[in-house]
Amino acid sequence: MQYFHANNKLTAEQKLKLLVEFGTRTSGEIRLDKLLDIIAQQITAILDVGRCTIYLKDVEKNELWSKIAQGRGLEHTEIRVPLDGNNAVSIVARTGEVINLPNAYEDPRFSMDVDMVTDFRTHTMLAVPLKNNSGKVLGVFQVANKADGTPFEKNDEGILTLLATLAGSSIEIAKLYQDVHVAQLETIYRLAITAEYRDQQDTRAHLKNISIISYLLARALGMGTKDSELIKNASPLHDIGKVALADHILLKPGKLTPEEFEIMKSHTVYGGRILEGAHSKVLKIAHKMSLYHHEKWNGKGYPNGLKGEEIPLEARIITVADVFDALCQFRVYKQAWKTEDAYEYILSESGISFDPRIVAAFKKIYPSIRKLYAHISVNKKTPVSGAAETQAAFESTDSSAHDATFRSMIENDKE
């Protein structure tokens, strides 16, 4: 992209070209954080400034927040300022006016808080309102320190206002998409709780743990962040079919009879039926997980006796994550395993119950998993280490009994 810097006077043709190019780069992105990152990078280059920060309104908290800040010392740092404050950004957000500070530190409207925790010093600053099509202020675009050291001019104000106007619609659409996405995930996790809560005292730990492990496994297998996120978000629903099981079987504290075990096994089929025909990507993956998470690599699993790569990859991933955590958790039918013993069991089942490639990935990420489980109590029960005893319980009951509301998301993971 060819940038026209603000210190050069733009012709009408150049302004139009700038508008089209900026719109093209921003209109195709619906992920809010990614969109803000693109916009901040472009504004930094177009205006040739040291920093661009995009603040958005958080009406519920009466604050302005920014997760994206271009410039040394601020990358991906969240900044929050009160919406009713006396600093320049808050004033712009409330009034919709443009504020241009030629000497920031001498102006009482400038807050030095951000500079104090970074190695960046603001000399000049320009802030313009970010509005939607109806004129409602969504936030603020703020830039600081032109590369040539001169104060921001009217021409700069015009360009930044123009870019804010163009970006307003894209940002509003991305915010709406994010709200819908969050609502979808919340629905998924609450459905998962419905299934898990019936037979577990603490649903939080299990859904949290298997989601993290599934994500890490996907990344270790070479999947990108987006696909790994889908795996993580779908994993809590793998046992949704348990909602169809009777309490006298699901909650039985002892060993199941062969007849009862056959009924227990049907939760995979019920889960498949519940999620069958889903249109969203995450529910399509959850369908595969729920139907096939008890299939085994050697073909001796259920419900269909699939073997090897006949089993969907998503199901092979959740199987390893699910079994490991189930072994580490106390259940009414078994004691908790020590983490190292559960790890050794996963390795020993490579090529038998589990895909060898996924077991190799599990081995690779195990140092992170060990840290995750370092704080987990064994619920005041004495851990057992014999594979035979726990394997018997594993085969005669539902090995994927869970613990919890999904809570934790993987952060700071880079491609």
The full set of domains in the chain, from first to last, is 12-176 (3.30.450.40), 198-396 (1.10.3210.10)
Residue 57 in 3-state DSSP? strand
pLDDT given at position 201: 53
Cβ-Cβ contacts under 8 Å for 303 (sequence gap 6 or more): 265, 266, 268, 269, 291, 294, 295
Ranges of the chain whose pLDDT falls below 70: 1-12, 14-16, 18-19, 25, 28, 68-77, 117-118, 180-187, 189-204, 331-333, 375-415
Q: At what angle do helices 313-328 and 225-234 cross, to 10 degrees?
A: 60
Residue 54 bridge partners (DSSP):
141
Q: Which two tokens stand for residue 312?
A: 């969907």
8 A C-beta contact, residue 7 and residue 148: yes
Phi, psi (degrees; rounded to nearest 5) at 101: -110, 105
d(CA 297, CA 350): 8
Alpha-carbon torsion, ordered 327, 329, 330, 332, to 10 deg: -70
Q: What integer pLDDT is reported at residue 145 of this predicted model?
A: 93
3-state secondary structure at position 130: strand
- How many helices and strands in the chain, by DSSP H and E? 15, 7
Query: pLDDT per residue over 312-340, tens digit each?
Result: 999 999 999 999 998 987 766 677 899 99
pLDDT recorded at residue 15: 61
The residue whose two tokens read 């073997």 is 307
Structure tokens of 92? Answer: 């712009």
On the CB side of 311, how many CA atoms lie within 13 Å of its CA?
A: 30
pLDDT at residue 30, rounded to an integer: 76
Angle CA(257)–CA(260)–CA(263) in degrees, nearest 5? Answer: 155
**pLDDT tens-place string over residues 24-41:** 767 767 777 888 888 888
According to the model, what pLDDT value does residue 22 have?
73
Q: What is the pLDDT of residue 35?
A: 83
